[in-house]
Structure 1
Amino acid sequence: MNDLPKLKIVVLMGGWANERPVSLMSGNGVADALEARGHDVTRIDMDRQVAARIAEAAPDVVFNALHGVPGEDGTVQGMLDLMGVPYTHSGLATSVIAIDKELTKQALVPAGIPMPGGRIVESASLHERDPLPRPYVLKPVNEGSSVGVAIVTDESNYGNPIRADAEGPWQDFDQLLAEPFIRGLELTTAVIGDRALAVTELKPKSGFYDFDAKYTDGMTDHICPADIPDNIRDLCLDYALKAHRVLGCKGTSRTDYRWDDTLGEAGLFVLETNTQPGMTPLSLVPEQAKYCGMEYGDLVEAIVAEALRDHADKDTAGGQGE
Structure 2
Amino acid sequence: MSLAVPPLRITDPAAFGRVAVLMGGTSAEREVSLQSGQGVLEALRARGVDAHAVDGIPALVEAIRAGTVDRVFNILHGNRGGGEDGVVQGLLQALGVPYTGAGVLGSALAMDKIRTKQVWIAEGLPTPRFARVPPGGDLRAAIAKVGLPAFAKPSCEGSSVGAARVVGEGDIANAVGVARAYGGEMLVEEMVVGDEITVAILGDVALPSIRIVPAGEWYDYNAKYLADDTQYLCPGLDEAGERAAAGLALAAFVAAGCSGWGRVDLMRERATGRLLLLEVNTAPGMTSHSLVPKAAAQVGIDYAELCWRVLEQTV
Fold shared per TM-score above 0.5: yes
> How do residues 6-45 of structure 1 correspond to structure 2 at under 5 angstroms?
6=14, 7-45=17-55
Number of aligned pairs? Answer: 301
TM-fit CA distance, 1:55: 2.8
CA distance in 1, matches of 2:130, 2:165: 14
Does structure 1 residue 232 correspond to structure 2 residue 241?
yes
- What TM-score comes out, normalization by structure 2 length? 0.89
Report the CA distance shift for 1:270/1:19 in structure 2 as closer, same or farther (over 3 A): same
> Contact 2:140 / 2:176 at 8 angstroms: preserved in 1?
no
Corresponding residue number in structure 2 for 1:103: 115
TM-fit CA distance, 1:275: 0.8
Corresponding residue number in structure 2 for 1:194: 204
TM-fit CA distance, 1:57: 4.9
> Contact 1:31 / 1:41 at 8 angstroms: preserved in 2?
yes
TM-fit CA distance, 1:145: 1.4
Per-residue Cα deviation, 1:175-232 (whole angstroms, up to 9, x for no partner): 3111111101111110100100111111111131112211114041111111x34332
Q: Percent identity?
A: 38
> How do residues 93-242 of structure 1 correspond to structure 2 at under 5 angstroms?
93-122=105-134, 123-126=136-139, 130-154=144-168, 157-158=170-171, 162-163=172-173, 167-226=177-236, 228-242=237-251
Does structure 1 residue 293 correspond to structure 2 residue 303?
no
> How do residues 250-261 of structure 1 correspond to structure 2 at under 5 angstroms?
250-261=259-270
**Equivalent position to 2:65, from 55, 80, 84:** 55
> How do residues 273-284 of structure 1 correspond to structure 2 at under 5 angstroms?
273-284=280-291
CA distance in 2, matches of 1:32, 1:237: 30
> Contact 2:166 / 2:175 at 8 angstroms: preserved in 1?
no
> Contact 1:134 / 1:153 at 8 angstroms: preserved in 2?
yes
2:58 is paired with a residue of what secondary structure? coil
Q: How much is the aligned-residue C-alpha RMSD, in angstroms?
A: 2.0
2:278 is paired with a residue of what secondary structure? strand
Corresponding residue number in structure 2 for 1:87: 99
- What stretches of structure 1 move > 4 A for 4+ residues in a row? 164-167
Report the CA distance shift for 1:141/1:165 in structure 2 as closer, same or farther (over 3 A): closer
Mean Cα deviation higher: 144-153 or 181-190: 144-153
TM-fit CA distance, 1:164: 6.9
Letter in 2 for 1:242: A
Letter in 2 for 1:194: D
TM-fit CA distance, 1:170: 3.8
**Gap regions ≥5 residues in structure 1:** 309-322
Letter in 2 for 1:85: V
Corresponding residue number in structure 2 for 1:315: none
Does structure 1 residue 249 correspond to structure 2 residue 258?
yes
Per-residue Cα deviation, 1:73-93 (whole angstroms, up to 9, x for no partner): 011111111221110111111
> Contact 2:202 / 2:260 at 8 angstroms: preserved in 1?
yes
> Contact 2:197 / 2:210 at 8 angstroms: preserved in 1?
yes
Corresponding residue number in structure 2 for 1:320: none
2:267 is paired with a residue of what secondary structure? strand
Per-residue Cα deviation, 1:241-264 (whole angstroms, up to 9, x for no partner): 112222232221111111112202
